[in-house]
Chain A
Amino acid sequence: MLRKFYIVLSLVLIASFALAACGPTATEAPVAEETEAPVAEETEAPAVDAGPKVLNVWSFTNEIRTMAIAYEGKNPDVDVIYTMIPMTDGEYQTKVKAAVGTADAPDVVALEAAFVKEWVESDLLMDLNELLPYTEELQTYPAVVEVGTNDGVSKAFSYQATPGAYFYRRSIATECLGTDDPAEVQAMVADIDKFVETAAKIHDCGTGDYFAVGTAGAMFNPFLANRAQPWIVDDTLVFDPMVNEYVDFAKMMRENGYESQAGQWSEGWFAGMNDTLVDANGTPKKIFSYFLPTWGLPYVLIPNSTSDNTDTGGDWAMINGPLAYQWGGTWVGVLDTAPNAELAKDFVRFVALDEENLTNWATGVYTNDYLKAIDPETPDDQQQPSGDFVSSQVVVEKIASSFDDSDLAKWLGGQNSYTAFAKAAPSVNGKLMTGSDDAIQRALQSALEQYLNDEVTKEEMWPIWLDSVRNEFPDLVIPELPADFME
């Protein structure tokens, strides 16, 4: 009896193996069936109410939720179901990838700069070329369109342009450099050599308690933005001289004590923004400057400039810094499988290419009260403060002067950040971005940290990085390292 059972069991096993071998289509079917139920539940409820058109939007922050509610205000027959999944360690990317091809895949996805290219280069996003006329009308910054385009097909657009800037503390500048005037300070950090000289001055003037920057990692983006070639050309990894220069630069900054060793997004890095950075001995430390892009001002620097006892607001100034760069940004695209393509496209148009929406977005029209009037269930902290830098040159030029007397300007000691960003935005380069940047750069930073902490030598650092790259990109050709990378 038992033997018979085993025979049957093993036959079932073989059969199931054969079934699995039928191909990927066979593997997808059960997933789809499995996930159909919950989606039906979600969409059923509103469908009963008034039969609105439903749009599923996934994002990694709550920013776009504001626009989703505004969109519902303009289109009462549409119900936007908004899902926020954080992306701290890549959860969002994983979740979206896992949902692709299943019934609970979203219609519209938000794509961050770090991974937008992967998607634009894939076949999973819908062709949105029909929205291109709007970009001409609004004079969307070329880099923004370029990033969302692959082989002449535009698949994602952004409401933001994200040129980078350099923010410094006026009080420390006056104390150590003799002036806090933006033009004069810009001259002192005009290129990397001058920046290093100034960093040394800041260090000596604060007798080691002042740091030029929180971490040399802050200049990773600016250095990489000035490479000649992207990371991958013709399936081959490119070792741009800028990469080596950055590694040496970061090491020099660490060895000379020009940086506080507080990594980006770490507690110490934030503490420096409001003068509460204290080292292990209890000695207070100060950080002179931060490299942050447009969104860094309203979302990072200003919210972190106050602590219980300190407030550095008004003590900041903004200049271009040593290198032009861009950092981050959120694009929106439509998944190829979206059942209501027209609606989804219209949502993307509204989010990224609608003059009124972009104006409202940047000028603080979308207050919590405004959103609550449309959707009473809006969370209390959902709103859009003014000051985000939008992707349309037309809108930027119209609203830039309105920030002359704004709270933002007061925070920057009277400088209008919007006008400053508007000058930097057109020169931003979108050509260097590829779908593999995120993984390659994260692996490099991980290996570099080892080198900065003297855990490995520079020669040992490169293989640590390249092993990781090779394992994540099986088909990538990795050439020999140039000789000068070893010096």
Chain B
Amino acid sequence: MQANFRKNYYGYLFIAPFIIGFLIFGLYPVYDTVYLSFTDTTIMSPNSAQWVGLKNFERLFADDFFMRAVRNTWLIWLLNFIPQIGVALLVSVWFTSTRLKIKGVGVWRTLFYMPNLLMPASVAALFFALFSFYGPINQFMVKSGFLPEAMHYLQNTTVTRGLVVFIQWWMWFGQTVIIVMAGMTAISTSLYEAAMVDGASAWQMFSRITMPLLKPILIYIFVTSLVGGMQMFDIPYMLTDGRGSPAYSIMTNNILMYSKFSSSKGHIGAASSVGVLVFIMTTVIALGIFYFLRDRDSQ
């Protein structure tokens, strides 16, 4: 025991900075948020805060507003995640294929990753200007006869949602390509060689070798994207008026939370209740993913 302890001692020492940092800056805020969500704390009158039990949560479910935010978030995330992972897989298969031998993979990968380096604020401002009523997209559409007259793109719920989906996809698929490619190149080529000797088709190799061995990577992408997607904020916030307009079609969980926080009195108690529900939702889904995609063979 004594010897064991000595050996492990350094391990704890080495992880201590992270654990301490996590407890203070990660865990404590989470618990404080949970605490706040049971109060009616406001920023403008912090001294009159009271314990209100589940009232904040009851209010969230009293009307459709919160559920609309949840549905929006899911919709926008799924619509950008599915093509994102699809395109990333396709591109990665091409780029890593020993048959195709595509040239300039590094250049392409860099180009795909580029949008991710742009500030979301400038991306949102760019698209806002492009799609404004007197903007270039309207000029192009009308002059080339696609539209009879100029339209307010950002007043149309479908167009606006579509734009957010597109921007999210465009900004993030390069990142996914890099991770997926790293995962694919890590798979031993001898497996593919053996499969080729046995006469396997490209699809068979992809579905029987690549996909199963890529599962941990895919789970990682899925979970990180889910966590990021549930907290989607910057693009939808800045693309229109910061309230999820038009008609709350791009109001996400975090925009709702923020609008409660930034309302005239600064209802941080009510805002926290949104945060808590998003936290619970994300955790449950992430655990679910791990459970269903667990490696059944090793049990």
Contacts and interface: CB of A to CB of B under 8 A. Distances in A.
Given A17-B34, A27-B32, A271-B134, A468 B243 contact: yes
A449 B157 CA distance: 12
A182 B11 CA distance: 83
Contact of A268 (B132, B149, B266, B267): B132
Contact of A280 (B41, B63, B139, B259): B139
B134 A281 contact: no
Given A467-B65, A474-B270, A436 B264 contact: yes
A455 B43 contact: no
B161 interface: no
Interface in B52-79: 56, 59, 63-65
A439 B263 contact: yes
Interface residues of A, number: 61
A446 B134 contact: no
Interface stretch (B23-31, B86-94, B175-183, B221-229): B23-31
Nearest to B151: A453
Contacts of B260: 471-472
A309 to B, nearest CB: 18
B interface, how many residues as a size bin?
A: 35 or more
A474 B268 CA distance: 12
A97 B133 CA distance: 34
Contact of A453 (B134, B138, B155): B155
B133 A446 contact: no
Interface centre among A20, A121, A278, A464 (most CB of B within 10 A): A20
Contacts of B141: 280
Contacts of B27: 13, 16
A449 B263 contact: no
A438 B134 contact: no
A93 interface: yes
Nearest to A278: B134
Interface string A322-343: 0000000000000000000000
A376 interface: no
A118 B265 contact: yes
Interface string B222-251: 000000000000000110011101111000
A268 B243 CA distance: 22
B132 A266 contact: yes
Contacts of B134: 262, 266-268, 271, 277-280
Contact of B245 (A122, A123, A279, A446): A446
Interface centre among B45, B248, B265, B270 (most CB of A within 10 A): B265
B184 interface: no
A279 B142 CA distance: 10
Given A94-B262, A122-B44, A267 B247 contact: no
Contacts of B241: 89, 442, 446
Contacts of B215: none
A447 interface: yes
Nearest to B263: A472
A455 B259 CA distance: 24
Given A267-B129, A436-B264, A472 B142 contact: no
Contact of A455 (B36, B47, B155, B242): B155
B8 interface: yes
A interface SS class: helix
A12 B22 CA distance: 12
B264 A118 contact: yes
A94 B242 CA distance: 13
Given A124-B44, A261-B152, A266-B133, A89 B242 contact: yes
Nearest to A434: B264
Contact of A446 (B28, B41, B243, B264): B243
B35 interface: yes
A450 B32 contact: no
Interface in A463-483: 464, 467-468, 470-474
B35 to A, nearest CB: 4
B143 interface: yes
A124 B264 CA distance: 13
B46 interface: yes
A90 interface: yes
A89 B32 CA distance: 27
B156 interface: yes
B31 to A, nearest CB: 4
A456 B246 CA distance: 10
Contacts of A277: 134
A1 interface: yes
B132 A455 contact: no
A414 to B, nearest CB: 32
Interface string A110-122: 0000010011011
9 contacts: A17-B31, A122-B45, A262-B134, A435-B264, A450-B155, A453-B152, A471-B63, A472-B260, A474-B40
Given A13-B31, A24-B39, 13 more contacts: A17-B31, A89-B237, A90-B262, A97-B44, A121-B44, A122-B265, A261-B133, A267-B129, A281-B142, A453-B156, A455-B246, A468-B248, A474-B56
Interface of B: 4, 8, 23-24, 27-28, 31-32, 34-36, 39-41, 43-47, 49, 56, 59, 63-65, 129, 132-135, 138-139, 141-143, 147, 149-150, 152, 155-157, 237-238, 241-243, 245-248, 256, 259-267, 270
Interface of A: 1, 12-13, 16-17, 19-21, 24, 27-28, 30, 89-90, 93-94, 97-98, 100-101, 115, 118-119, 121-124, 261-263, 266-268, 271, 277-282, 435-436, 438-439, 442-443, 446-447, 449-450, 453, 455-456, 464, 467-468, 470-474
* CB-CB nearest 4 A-B residue pairs: A268-B134, A280-B142, A280-B150, A472-B263
